[in-house]
Amino acid sequence: MPIDARVQELIAAGDLRTAATEALRVLGPQVLRYLRSVLRNEADAGDAFSQFAENLWSGLAGFRGQSALRTWAFRIARNAAANLRDEAWRRRGRPFATGEASALALEIRTASAVRAEQQHDALSKLREALTDDDRALLALRVDQQLSWEEVAEILSADDAPVTAGTLTKRFERLKDRLARMAKEQGLLG
């Protein structure tokens, strides 16, 4: 059974614990790769992933299925990454309470760390030169292979919606810029 249908079935049955556990087990490794790619720091990715897991766990009761579960989860992850970057949040430094979601997040992080892909140094340098928004666009479209509609939904803010068409144009400009940067660094002939 697809994860969306399974989670909806569990929510309808009132079994939020199992629904959250299954959602995190299936989507967690993808989300963690996304956070590592966007934040470029294992400790920050771990912190953001813990926040993501807690937010997914506590927010799942309100998930209505208006978008795909995967899209909804990546939006939560994007917000967790944005919150992590916010210096005011870092100064507060409130540690997450150890609970089932945090324990599961730690289990997924540990298992994923063993399988984590080693990125080529040159590619990492190119990504580091990008803005946070460009890194997010690249990670969601290329690394996670989300559709343009899903990426648009994830990157849209409540007060500033983004269309799939706008993102495809921005992506084309990003690819051109990356090609120029790669050529300047001698990575392309």
pLDDT band for 118, please (50, 70, 90 cuts). Answer: very low
Show which of 62, 93, 117 is a domain's final residue: 117
Q: What is the pLDDT of residue 183?
A: 83
- pLDDT surpasses 50 at 119: no
Show which of 117, 141, 168 is a domain's final residue: 117
Q: Is the pTM of this model over 0.75?
A: no
Whether 131 and 98 map to the same domain: the answer is: no
pLDDT band for 87, please (50, 70, 90 cuts). Answer: low
State the number of CA atoms in the 13 A half-sphere of 92 facing the CB.
Answer: 10
Q: 3-state SS of 156-169?
A: CECCECCCHHHHHH
Whether 45 and 112 map to the same domain: the answer is: yes
Backbone angles phi, psi at 145, to 5 degrees: 55, 40
Mean pLDDT (the chain) is 84
**How many angstroms separate the CA atoms of 65 and 72, rounded?**
9
| Straight-line distance from the first to the last Cα atom of the chain, in angstroms, rounded to the nearest whole number | 47
Residues 7-66: tens digit of each pLDDT = 999 999 999 999 999 999 999 999 999 999 999 888 899 999 999 999 999 999 898 888
pLDDT band for 128, please (50, 70, 90 cuts). Answer: confident
- Count of domains in the chain? 2
**How many angstroms separate the CA atoms of 154 and 73, rounded?**
9
Instruction: Provide the CATH number for the domain around residue 163.
Output: 1.10.10
- Expressed as residue numbers, the domain containing 160 is 120-189
Whether 138 and 182 map to the same domain: the answer is: yes
What are the CA-CA distances from residue 54 to residues 101, 145, 167 (Å)?
A: 6, 25, 29
Show which of 117, 135, 150 is a domain's final residue: 117
Whether 112 and 61 map to the same domain: the answer is: yes
- pLDDT surpasses 50 at 124: yes
Tokens of 76: 């939560």
